[in-house]
A and B are shown apart, each in its own frame.
Chain A
């Protein structure tokens, strides 16, 4: 690069230079013999090329010319820009959401070095397991790939905050090891993070607050560090406050406080896998190396502790990529859909350009006759197309600024991915780059149609006075072929939406096995000594609940459960009494939860055999469980399980007798078959938090205040939180499908509209072109109906070809989006048939409007015009 040359970008410098050159050449001319210097104009032209920015100035000329041409046809300009704005806008919107969520880096320094560390049982994905505290201690001392490792409680729980004179409140919190914050690289905004010695009971009464909690409950008090607050009725010292960006969301909503892990008696059990562990790789260590080390670590555990870890392995995976697998399928589907919408928009604009190409043929022919090369013509036409695309793209970005915030509100909490705080969907540099690239590609893509058509046309034909265009037939075929392709594309988008809608309706038709109507749920923490297995922290909880809340007029039934359906569950291995004991790796297991008496009645889950829990199931009476039908079928296929017993957790665990078999109520998701599950009564086995389930006679939301009042009667300093209707929980369990379904439906409406516009435009153009032919036909005796038929058949045969191609494409795309489907095959004839019929009807209507115009032509006037 010659920097000298840059100054010649300034027109004033170029003008000065030009004048100087003219003077110099004039002077030389007078010195030399006449004609001795040859063609001085050519010499000047070649000299100009030395400093001139020839390509740039000719580009500028093309752009200026393009602008003038476009402004001469405001109707065409508006139609093309609007169409492109729709296409580019849809793409930019979807990309901006992806950019703000999946592509957003974790808010930690060098976050690509953070890895999740798992035990595995069995090969392949989906076998990752959480680890126990003793595993963590070994991991810390036996591995070398990591700068640091840390753990946090896999489930967390609600913590009760109370203070004299204020409403008690329950907030979501997490037990973490001392290294939790430092391994992530997250520094508290105020105070410090936890110290290693604080991991032990006695020193663990310390708490770190989230920014939100600090601001909301403690008024953003800068002097809060060192103060004591009441957590679960005990004094805790506030040691730190995290900054606003620290949003910890992992298998849960955002956490509001963190406490030291404070290892309990239960935590010392080698088999009590209840922690998620992660580490920070040493510089230069790859994830693959860490995976190898974890595999070796896992198999060492398997050898040393066969009772708990037989068959174990280990693995590591990037923290940044975690939890995004599910989003990928959705993102792919949506991107494909908007991509097709953009292609349809391209086809429409290409058609518009072809239609107006007819009037520009003379101009192009003259230019070529004057010596413009094909390449030069192509460049000029492409400049015009890209100019149009850039205008459309700019309008599209404007559209996207509006639609992306709309989409953000529509998506709501679904945009929240693990550990990322998404507060808005910005139109930032990445999005603008994406929009520019998409716009320019679009411009080149639809710009090819007029180029091909211009270069195929000869120089002579268009210049003949009044000459009839002999290539019109060819161009018309090109336009109809474009119509066919846009019908095919629209069909693919429509059938994608159709498959999603059918999936959703299939899913809504699934019997959940419980009755969600008029059920209100609320969560509260019920702290206890030995978490998960110990005696209940509040022995009279279930009875008090039934007495006080059950007494509210309008309450039909009340109970409580550790895990609400669709909101997670625990799992446990067991031995079946009377059968040969299974080895640890073959031990039967099932999901389990804990409930108060009356749970099945409150949820209206039928008890098919035996009975459900009652007040007589206490710590003094024999241990009991209620199992679901799936568990009965799996383990007692030919027997009545009622009266049989299991050993909970293994041969030396508590003996639990089956007292009832309940119907299969879905609890993992409506789209997932019900796995084996059993319930223990809270009166025999405590749980650190419980969800109150209240069935009311009517409008459950109106019962929130009375229920809170009833609670204050028997648990005055305990807060309840997360009030949710069971119907909402059920609906939210379908959220992962609801969003793509809504978006695909919106895109298919856009696709349908664009396709209709495209078809109407092409048919109406072709009617105009064929005016004389139609006039002659009518003069020779063709009736309006014949002309109507002629035009409709001409257009519909291309539409049908497009439909055929579209069906093939839909089936192909359908298989790629199978992960999003439920109860419907990508080849579903109902869906494909319906959308094909819909599209054909719209196409027929779009062709009918201009065809009617043709049928109503007055042959005399048409021919006289000629």
Chain B
């Protein structure tokens, strides 16, 4: 399933709400939370992380992982949280609008 433009950023921010994760963890979380429907290419996810970090919506810090391995963990910032709220309501409006246009699947 392809992602709509800008949606990836929103998904990353949403995933980080539950706490800091490293890059691979984020990819797995999105994959798992979408009932395995969204397989995120790491090649797109990684630049997205850098972009979000540059915008100040997430920060990163070296830490130790569950398996006692060092990794870089990303955490949501206050600005990121605010942005996510805005994006979320925009997204909800968008879904509602699309749903009202589409309606129930027409029966022949």
Show the binding face of A for B, using Cβ within 8 Å: 2, 4-5, 20, 23-25, 27-28, 30-32, 36-40, 42-44, 46-47, 49-51
Contacts and interface: CB of A to CB of B under 8 A. Distances in A.
Contact of B72 (A5, A24, A36, A40): A24
Interface stretch (B50-58, B88-96, B98-106): B50-58
A31 B49 CA distance: 18
Given A43-B43, A47-B50, A2 B55 contact: yes
Q: Which of B24, B54, B65 has the most CB of A within 10 A?
A: B24
Contacts of A2: 54-55
B108 interface: no
A707 B69 CA distance: 109
Contacts of A50: 47, 50-51, 54
A43 B54 contact: no
Interface in B58-90: 65, 67, 69-72
Contact of A4 (B47, B49, B54): B54
Q: Say which size band chain B's interface belongs to.
A: 20 to 34
A694 B71 CA distance: 104
B37 to A, nearest CB: 18
Contact of A38 (B43, B49, B50, B55): B43
A40 to B, nearest CB: 8
Nearest to B52: A50
Contacts of A47: 46-47, 49-50
Interface of B: 22-24, 41-44, 46-47, 49-51, 54-56, 65, 67, 69-72
B69 A51 contact: no
Given A24-B71, A31-B24, A38-B42, A46 B54 contact: no
Contacts of A20: 72
Contacts of B23: 24, 28
Contacts of B67: 31
Given A5-B54, A50-B51, A51-B54, A32 B24 contact: yes
Contacts of B71: 24, 27-28, 31
A541 B41 CA distance: 108
B47 A43 contact: yes
25 contacts: A2-B54, A2-B55, A4-B54, A4-B56, A23-B72, A24-B23, A27-B69, A27-B71, A28-B22, A30-B69, A31-B22, A31-B24, A31-B69, A31-B71, A37-B43, A38-B42, A38-B43, A40-B42, A42-B43, A43-B46, A43-B47, A46-B46, A47-B46, A47-B49, A50-B54
Contacts of A28: 22-24, 71
Contacts of A39: 43
Given A2-B54, A28-B22, A43 B69 contact: no
Q: Which of B42, B44, B51, B65 has the most CB of A within 10 A?
A: B42
Contacts of A40: 42-43
A51 B51 CA distance: 8
Contacts of B41: 38
A40 B69 CA distance: 20
A21 to B, nearest CB: 8
Contacts of B55: 2
Nearest to A51: B54
Nearest to A30: B69
Given A5-B54, A37-B24, A49 B72 contact: no
Contacts of B56: 4
Nearest to B43: A43
A27 B43 CA distance: 16
